Amino acid sequence: MSLPTPPRHREIFSVVGLDLERAGQVSTEVQRILRRLGVEPEVVRRAGIVCFEGEMNIVLYTPGGRIILLVYDDRVELIFSDQGPGIPDVELARQPGYSTAPEWARELGFGSGMGIPNMEANSDRLEIRSRVGEGTVIRATLFRRKGEAAGNSGKAGA
Amino acid sequence: MRLREVAELVGARFLAGEDLADREVRAGFAADLLSDVLAMVREEGVLLITGMVTAQVVRVAEVMNLAGVLFVRGKLPAKPTVEYAASAGIPLLATLHTMYEVCGILYNHGLPPAKRKPLPHENEPPHPAPP
C-alpha cells in the first residue's frame, strides 16, 4: 500500500437549491477546469454528465449543498453533499425510471428517474450515503486510465 | 448535414449561433426529457430536437458537446437563455413544425439517429412498483 497522494487540484462549489437559472453552471465550470488540466476528453465528458445530474438533484430537491471536485493523476472525484430530505431507499433510486420528482420538476424536463442511474453509468464507482431528514452525500469516481478499476467505464453496456 | 441545411429543410431560423451554420450535424436525437438526452446520447455533434426551452437545455448541449438545439412547435427560450447559448457557442434554431414532422423530414433527408447508449439495466426485468 502506498501513501494516499493529495489531489492535484481541488475546487469547491456551492449550489443553491431551486436556483434554476444557474443550475448546470457548476457542470460546465467543472468541464472547463478538467479540460484546462489536460484531463482526457472522454473523462471530461463523463464528468460533465455526472456533475450535471448531481447538480440538478441538489437544485431540484434540496435547499442547497456543495460539489467538491478532486483531480488526481489517476482519477477524478466528484463529491455532492446536501442538507436535503435524504433518499429513503437508495437501491430503488439507483433503478432507472424510479422517480419521486414533483410535477414541476418533470415539466422542466427532469425527474424521469434517470438521475442516479445516469451518474452510475458515467462513473466507475458511485457511493451513496443518505439519511432521511439529514441529507445525502454521493461520491462519484471516474478513473483516468483504463484497466485500473476493472474497466468499469463500459458498465453502461453491461 | 450542416446546420444551414437543417434550417432550410425544416424552415427554422437561427436564434443564436448563426455564424456556426456550417457546423456539421452527425446525427439527431429528439426528446423533451433532458435526463434522457444525458442518458442515451453517446456521440458528439448531435442535433437535439426538443420542445423544452429551459436554460438547462443549453447547459445539457454544452455538457454533451451537441452540434446545436432545434426547438419545435414554435417554442422559444427566454432571452437570457439565448444570450447564454450565443456566448457558449451553442447554435439554437426554432421551427413551427412539430417534433414528429421535424424528425420525419430530417430522417428522410438522411440525418441518422444518434447512437443510443444502452441503459445500465436494460436487460433486467422492470423494477417493482414503488411502495
**Domain CATH code at residue A67:** 3.30.565.10
Q: Is residue A24 part of a domain?
A: yes
**Contact B100/A71 with Cβ under 8 angstroms?**
no
With a cut of 0.90, is the ipTM above it? no
Host domain of residue A128: 9-148
Instruction: Provide, as residue numbers in chain B, all residues whose Cβ is less than 8 Å from the Cβ of A56.
Output: 56
Note whether B54 contacts A: Cβ–Cβ < 8 A. Answer: yes
* Residue in chain A nearest B119 by alpha carbon: A156
pTM above 0.90, yes or no: no
Residue B120 lies in a domain: no
Structural domain contains residue A4: no
In a domain, A156, yes or no: no
The total number of structural domains that make up chain B: 1
> Is-contact A48 B63, C-beta < 8 A?
yes
- Number of Cβ pairs < 8 A linking chain A and chain B: 103
Higher pLDDT, A5 or A51: A51
Residue A87 lies in a domain: yes
Residue B115 included in any domain: no
Q: Running DSSP on this structure, what letter comes out for residue B2?
A: B
Is A82 part of a structural domain of the chain?
Answer: yes
Task: Tell me whether residue B131 is in a domain.
Answer: no
Assigned domain for A2 exists: no
- Strand order, beta sheet including A75-82: A9-16, A64-71, A75-82, A135-143, A125-131
Question: How far apart are the CA of B34 and the nearest CA of chain A, in angstroms?
Answer: 5
H helix runs in chain B, sequence order: 3-10, 34-40, 55-63, 79-88, 99-108
**Cβ of residue A38 closer than 8 Å to a chain B Cβ:** no
Q: Write the CATH number for B22.
A: 3.40.1390.20
Q: Which of B33, B52, B118 sits opposite A157 (nearest CB)?
A: B118
Distance between B18 CA and the closest CA of chain A, angstroms: 22
Residues B37-79: tens digit of each pLDDT: 998 898 999 999 999 999 999 999 999 999 999 999 999 999 9
**Could you tell me if residue A154 is inside a domain?**
no
Q: Quickly state the pLDDT bin for A4 (edges 50, 70, 90).
A: confident
Are the Cβ atoms of B55 and A20 closer than 8 angstroms? Answer: yes
Q: If you search the block for the grid coordinates 443549453, which residue do you land on?
A: B58
**CA–CA distance, A85 with A131 (Å, rounded to integer):** 8
Tally of CB atoms within 10 A around B129: 6
Q: Which of A92, A96, A117 sits opposite B130 (nearest CB)?
A: A92
**Per-residue pLDDT at A150:** 41
Residue A157 with chain B: CB contacts under 8 Å: 117-118
- The two beta strands, B13-16 and A135-143, are unpaired
Domain count, chain A: 1
Tell me, yes or no, whether A39 lies in a domain: yes
Instruction: Give the pairing of strands A75-82 and A135-143.
Output: antiparallel
Per cent of chain B over pLDDT 70 is: 89
pLDDT digits (tens, 9 = 90+) for A50-108: 999 999 999 999 999 999 999 999 999 999 999 999 999 999 999 888 988 888 888 88
Backbone phi, then psi, for B32, in 5-degree steps? -105, -10
